[in-house]
Chains A and B, each alone.
Chain A
């Protein structure tokens, strides 16, 4: 099943959350980390990742630094202060959405119950 549409809406939250846990990351590393955490269930496409990273950077949520790696330049992304504030806002927004979705799918479901 393709869950691309489901991921699309939460891609920014995923990126911000990963960067909150890992001081700084580069594009390819983000795709691999998501793949690893979800055991390959979620694959972030490059087509969506880089525009999202650039947008967050332009909005001031992320800052970048370039570093020479072997014979090439690597661009690392990390959270700005605004980005750090945005993570908690985005996380609670997403958690509340998931909770509401859960209630729609399973009216018997109560938060905190497995």
Chain B
């Protein structure tokens, strides 16, 4: 095994960049494979071995691999989120959820006008907004060095970035839905008395959603580039 020269490393990066891979995980895995393989060949064999690797990791192969990986990641993330969510209703955590729900219901008694109800309902979104900013900053710094290394200007991002971002936006869309239907909730005679209870249910659901999503992100950030 030998240390590759800077020129050789540059050549490897160029070859990989030509594949226009947008998943940071796939890019790094392919790059590591190339280097591990080429480190075992002599300087004279370098071009021949690189050519051989290029035949194995073709543009089409890398894109198919990336598409499959993105699909698997999305599935895995949803399944992990569901598992974490279910855990909140297991014996070990249900007590906390019940205490939290009880406190939320008690708090809802002090909520009287429309503005307070709306604020109460959507307050978990403030935590979500904070978490989102933190997520964006952390992802940016994790990818920054890779982008710099590869001199990449394209949409290089972790495969987990978009699925998690979508999950972060889901409650925002829900909030839009609530605002859109607020007329019905607050002005209808049948639902006006139920408004604080509806608000507390939404508050609890949103809080659990945000907490579970945060846990999922914590689990995945240790093992990937987010």
What is A's interface to B at a CB cutoff of 8 Å? 26-29, 45-47, 50-51, 54-55, 57-58, 60, 63-66, 69-75
Complex alpha-carbon distance, A50 and B28, angstroms: 13
Contact: B69 with A54, CB < 8 Å? Answer: yes
Question: Chain A residue with minimal CB distance to B27?
Answer: A73
Contact: A66 with B35, CB < 8 Å? Answer: no
Contact: B57 with A58, CB < 8 Å? Answer: no
Question: Chain A residue with minimal CB distance to B65?
Answer: A50
Contact: A54 with B222, CB < 8 Å? Answer: no
Given contacts A55-B72, A66-B224, contact A28 B36 (CB under 8 A): yes
Contact: B28 with A47, CB < 8 Å? Answer: no
Contact: A45 with B225, CB < 8 Å? Answer: no
Shortest CB-to-CB span from B36 to chain A, Å, is: 4
Complex alpha-carbon distance, A73 and B61, angstroms: 21
Contact: A47 with B56, CB < 8 Å? Answer: yes
Shortest CB-to-CB span from A15 to chain B, Å, is: 15
Question: Other CB < 8 Å A-B pairs besides A27-B32, A29-B36, 4 of them?
Answer: A26-B36, A50-B65, A58-B72, A75-B32
CB contacts (< 8 Å) of A74 on chain B: these are: 28, 32
Kindly state whether residue B149 has any CB partner on chain A within 8 Å: yes
What is B's interface to A at a CB cutoff of 8 Å? 25, 28-29, 31-33, 35-37, 56-57, 61, 65, 68-69, 72-73, 75-76, 79, 146, 149, 222-225
What secondary structure prevails in chain B residues at the interface with A?
Answer: helix
Contact: B69 with A73, CB < 8 Å? Answer: no
Given contacts A27-B33, A55-B72, contact A71 B223 (CB under 8 A): no
Question: Chain B residue with minimal CB distance to A26?
Answer: B32
Question: Chain A residue with minimal CB distance to B70?
Answer: A54
Given contacts A29-B36, A66-B223, A72-B35, contact A50 B29 (CB under 8 A): yes
CB contacts (< 8 Å) of A45 on chain B: these are: 56
Complex alpha-carbon distance, A73 and B24, angstroms: 10
Contact: B56 with A75, CB < 8 Å? Answer: no
Question: Chain A residue with minimal CB distance to B61?
Answer: A47
Shortest CB-to-CB span from B72 to chain A, Å, is: 4
Complex alpha-carbon distance, A60 and B72, angstroms: 11
Contact: B75 with A75, CB < 8 Å? Answer: no
Given contacts A47-B61, A51-B65, contact A64 B33 (CB under 8 A): no
Given contacts A55-B72, A57-B76, A58-B75, contact A72 B28 (CB under 8 A): yes
Question: Chain A residue with minimal CB distance to B29?
Answer: A75
Cβ contact of B32, chosen from A28, A54, A57, cutoff 8 A: A28
Contact: A65 with B33, CB < 8 Å? Answer: no
Contact: B33 with A28, CB < 8 Å? Answer: yes
Contact: A51 with B68, CB < 8 Å? Answer: yes
CB contacts (< 8 Å) of B35 on chain A: these are: 70, 72
Complex alpha-carbon distance, A46 and B52, angstroms: 12
Q: Which 10 A-B pairs have the closest CB atoms?
A: A58-B72, A28-B36, A58-B76, A73-B28, A28-B33, A54-B69, A64-B223, A74-B32, A46-B56, A54-B72
